[in-house]
């Protein structure tokens, strides 16, 4: 090895030994360091290795899903006290035969999801404990396993469609892969396990970034109602109420009513009544029954829809608004230029393949809102850095034109 390479290797090894606990590093510094490491890897990795990494990348999701089906993560969760299990112990607590179990465990160990403290035993790593049944992180795997099945048909879809950008919400790669004409949300109603995984996944998307909209929007200054009977905020397409519940927790004393709306199959999935929040089953394409609310709020709802349907939703909201109502759109906003993380870039393709929709840039959001009869008052953005697992969230405050 050349002297320079020896120095680089030693610098990286020293840096690793001196690294403070990851939780104590602020997000901006963490992302900077990870960015530097990504560049180092890209510069070092021989193209055949990069190629093989791409070719084998789908295996992790597939095998984790199989391991969930066999009950491997649940077996360790139940055996919490012992922490380690032998192959025979694990076999007695899981579905399927021992030979398959051994091969699945070998892959999961290669991925560092489990370790082998001895030849006889397996020990779960930090990720394994997040994959047992019922946890949102486990449901994330189920959710993306479904989408991996769509992505596997992307090439055939575009061959059949002459590589045209999908624009019909009921003729996306999703419908092609599932041999259906149903919109994804209609299809979910008939697939309760996938619906549950979807609802659960939505409850965790933003927490990963750690930045809530009400921490960078001046709520107390902007959202005032004279009468406590007036609706202060309605969260349209708010899922099982995770976002509006966080808002209620942050501002418990703010006068006014809080309303959550979503499709019946989502509202019916709310495990217990939400404190201080009225939950309504309602389709946002129908006339909005909550009139004159102070704020109509939608988080990552319109990114599921091409412009045609997004404009219909905006019209239904505009019809219900009072003179002093505001529209608050909380959405991923990828930068128009510059580099996106692979996850942020893929999220746009995810909207495309599932809904024929897209992640809009700031310019596209403003254009959509103006076309929908709104004037954008301000685009609010968080001051501190998120983890950029997806893309930076922005809050579009708009009023009828």
Ligand X SMILES: C[S@@+](CC[C@H](N)C(=O)[O-])C[C@H]1O[C@@H](n2cnc3c(N)ncnc32)[C@H](O)[C@@H]1O
Total of chain residues touching ligand X, rule CB under 6 A: 18
Q: Does 241 participate in binding ligand X (rule CB under 6 A)?
A: no
Near ligand X by CB under 6 A: residue from 72, 211, 301, 357: 301
Candidates 299, 332, 350, 388; binder of ligand X (CB under 6 A) is: 299
189 interacts with ligand X by CB under 6 A: no
Q: Is 243 an interacting residue with respect to ligand X (CB under 6 A)?
A: yes
224 touches ligand X by CB under 6 A: no
**Alpha helices (H) in 56-153, listed in sequence order:** 58-70, 72-78, 87-93, 98-110, 136-151
State yes or no: residue 186 binds ligand X (CB under 6 A): no
Considering the complex, what minimum distance in angstroms separates the CB of residue 26 from ligand X? 25
Residue at token pair 């021989």: 46
Cβ proximity to ligand X, 111 vs 283, nearer residue: 283
Between CA 101 and CA 278 the distance in angstroms is 47
* Residue 291 Cβ vs ligand X, minimum distance, rounded to whole Å: 17
150 vs 300 by CB, closer to ligand X: 300
Residue 397 β-bridge partners: 328, 378
Check residue 304 for interaction with ligand X (CB under 6 A): yes
In sequence order, which ranges of 114-252 are alpha helices (DSSP H)?
A: 136-151, 154-160, 173-178, 184-189, 192-202, 219-222, 242-250
Q: Which residues of 343-370 are buried (b: 16+ CB within 10 A; e: fewer)?
A: ebebbbebbbbbbbbbbbbbeebbebbe
Q: Which of 124, 238, 256, 306 is the binder for ligand X (CB under 6 A)? A: 238
Query: Among residues 185, 187, 296, 355, which is the contact residue for ligand X, using CB under 6 A?
Result: 185
Q: Kindly state the DSSP code that residue 301 receives in the 8-state scheme.
A: -
**Interface with ligand X, residue 239, by CB under 6 A:** yes
From 5-13, 86-94, 278-286, 345-353, span contacting ligand X (CB under 6 A): 278-286
Q: Which stretch binds ligand X (CB under 6 A): 115-123, 235-243, 321-329, 354-362?
A: 235-243
* CA-based end-to-end distance of the chain: 67
356 binds ligand X (CB under 6 A): no
What SS3 state is found at 210? coil
- Residue 184 C-beta: closest distance to ligand X, Å: 9
Nearer to ligand X among residue 130 and residue 283 (C-beta): 283
Reply yes or no on whether 303 is catalytic.
Answer: yes
Pairing of strands 326-332, 121-124: unpaired
Residue 327's CB is within 10 A of a number of other CB atoms, namely 24
Which residues between 245 and 264 bind ligand X (CB under 6 A)? Answer: 261-263
Q: Where are the beta strands (DSSP E) in 206-348?
A: 231-236, 257-262, 278-281, 295-299, 326-332
Please, which residue, 243 or 348, has the CB nearer to ligand X? 243
CA distance 42 to 61: 23
Is residue 202 near ligand X by the rule CB under 6 A? yes
Least distance in angstroms from the C-beta of 41 to ligand X: 32
Among residues 183, 282, 303, 332, which one is catalytic? Answer: 303
* Residue closer to ligand X, measured from CB, 63 or 146: 146
Residue 400's nearest CA partner among 301, 349, 327 is: 327
Of 350 and 388, nearer to ligand X (C-beta) is: 350
> Kind and range of the H or E element at 5?
helix 3-18
d(CA 219, CA 250): 10
Q: Which long-range contacts (CB under 8 A, 24 or more apart) does 289-292 make?
A: 289/320, 290/231, 290/234, 290/259, 290/261, 290/320, 291/320, 291/321, 291/322, 292/230, 292/231, 292/320, 292/321, 292/322, 292/325
User: Does residue 74 touch ligand X according to CB under 6 A?
Assistant: no
Task: Say how far apart CA 259 and CA 264 lie, in whole Å.
Answer: 14
Among 71, 124, 166, 237, binds ligand X (CB under 6 A): 237
Q: Which residue is nearest to ligand X (CB)?
A: 237
Q: How far is the CB of 304 from ligand X (least distance, A)?
A: 5
Q: Which of 84, 132, 200, 205 binds ligand X (CB under 6 A)?
A: 205
Binding residue for ligand X, selected from 200, 231, 300, 333, defined by CB under 6 A: 300
CB of 125 to ligand X, least distance (A): 28
Q: Of these, 182, 283, 361, 364, which contacts ligand X (CB under 6 A)?
A: 283
Q: Which are the catalytic amino acids? A: 303
- Residue numbers of the site for ligand X (CB under 6 A)? 185, 202, 205, 237-239, 243, 261-263, 266, 283-285, 299-301, 304
């Amino acid at each position: 090895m050349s002297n320079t390479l020896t120095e680089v290797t030693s610098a990286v090894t020293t840096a690793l030994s001196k690294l403070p606990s990851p939780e104590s590093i602020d997000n901006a510094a963490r992302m900077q360091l990870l960015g530097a490491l990504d560049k180092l890897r890209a510069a070092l990795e021989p193209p055949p290795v990069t190629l093989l990494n791409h070719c084998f990348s789908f295996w992790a999701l597939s095998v984790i899903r199989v391991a969930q089906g066999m009950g491997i993560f649940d077996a360790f969760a139940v055996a919490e006290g012992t922490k380690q299990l032998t192959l025979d112990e694990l076999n007695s607590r899981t579905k399927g035969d021992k030979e398959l179990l051994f091969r699945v465990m070998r892959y999961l160990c290669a991925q560092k999801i489990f370790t082998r403290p001895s030849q006889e035993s397996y020990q779960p790593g930090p990720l394994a404990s997040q994959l047992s049944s019922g946890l949102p992180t486990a449901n994330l795997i189920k959710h993306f396993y479904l989408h991996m099945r769509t992505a596997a048909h992307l090439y055939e879809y575009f061959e059949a469609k002459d590589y045209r950008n999908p624009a019909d919400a009921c003729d996306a790669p999703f419908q092609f892969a599932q041999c259906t004409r149903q919109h994804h949300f209609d299809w979910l109603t008939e697939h309760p396990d996938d619906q549950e995984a979807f609802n659960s996944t939505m409850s965790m998307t933003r927490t990963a970034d750690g930045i809530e909209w009400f921490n960078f929007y001046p709520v107390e200054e902007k959202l005032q109602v004279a009468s406590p009977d007036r609706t202060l905020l309605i969260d349209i397409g708010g899922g099982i109420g995770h976002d509006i519940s966080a808002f209620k927790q942050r501002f418990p004393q703010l006068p006014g009513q809080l309303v959550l709306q979503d499709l019946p199959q989502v509202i019916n999935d709310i495990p217990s009544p939400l404190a201080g929040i009225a939950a309504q089953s309602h389709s946002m394409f129908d006339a909005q029954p909550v009139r004159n609310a102070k704020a109509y709020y939608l988080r990552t709802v319109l990114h599921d829809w091409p412009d045609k349907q997004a404009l219909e939703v905006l019209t239904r909201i505009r019809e219900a608004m009072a003179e002093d109502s505001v529209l608050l759109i909380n959405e991923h906003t990828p930068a128009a230029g510059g580099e996106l993380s692979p996850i942020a870039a893929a999220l746009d393709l995810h909207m495309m393949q599932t809904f024929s929709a897209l992640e809009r840039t700031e310019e596209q959001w403003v254009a959509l809102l103006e076309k929908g009869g709104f004037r954008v008052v301000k685009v609010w953005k968080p001051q501190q850095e998120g983890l950029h697992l997806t893309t930076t969230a922005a809050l579009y405050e708009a009023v009828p034109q």
